[in-house]
Amino acid sequence: MKKKGHSHSEWTFLTSHARVLLAISRDPGVRLREVALSCGVTERTVQGIVADLEEAGYLTRSRAEDGRRNHYVIVPSAPFRHPAEAGHEIAGLLALLAERHHPERPDRG
């Protein structure tokens, strides 16, 4: 039975943390403003998520050579945090979802 006021569009499979991590893995020099737009959250939210991910050891950030941007490095061997995914590294998630689908490329099997 469907609860009153719930629609199918209110939830998604991935958290904002996962979406931010995936966006950064696609472009390690991305601006957080661009990440916010692609993830549908505020830039301030993305800043907090990046701080969380950095503190937890999922990524590191440094100044890019141009001195104007940050450069991010994902740590693919970092494990998932929830016990249900114990023993799995984020490398699997990144391999599955980090590459954007390109319609001009033929399907891989």
Domain span holding position 84? 15-97
Look up the CATH number of the domain holding residue 43: 1.10.10.10
What does the alpha-carbon distance between residue 74 and residue 31 come to, in Å, rounded to a whole number?
15
Tally of domains within the chain: 1
Domain assignment of residue 103, yes or no: no
Cα gap 26→49, rounded to integer Å: 16
The one-digit pLDDT tens for each residue of the chain (109 residues) are: 555 666 667 788 999 999 999 999 999 999 999 999 999 999 999 999 999 999 999 999 999 888 888 999 999 999 999 999 999 999 999 999 987 654 444 444 4
The structure's pTM equals 0.80
CA-closest candidate to residue 22, choices 81, 79, 76, 86? 76
pLDDT score of 99: 75
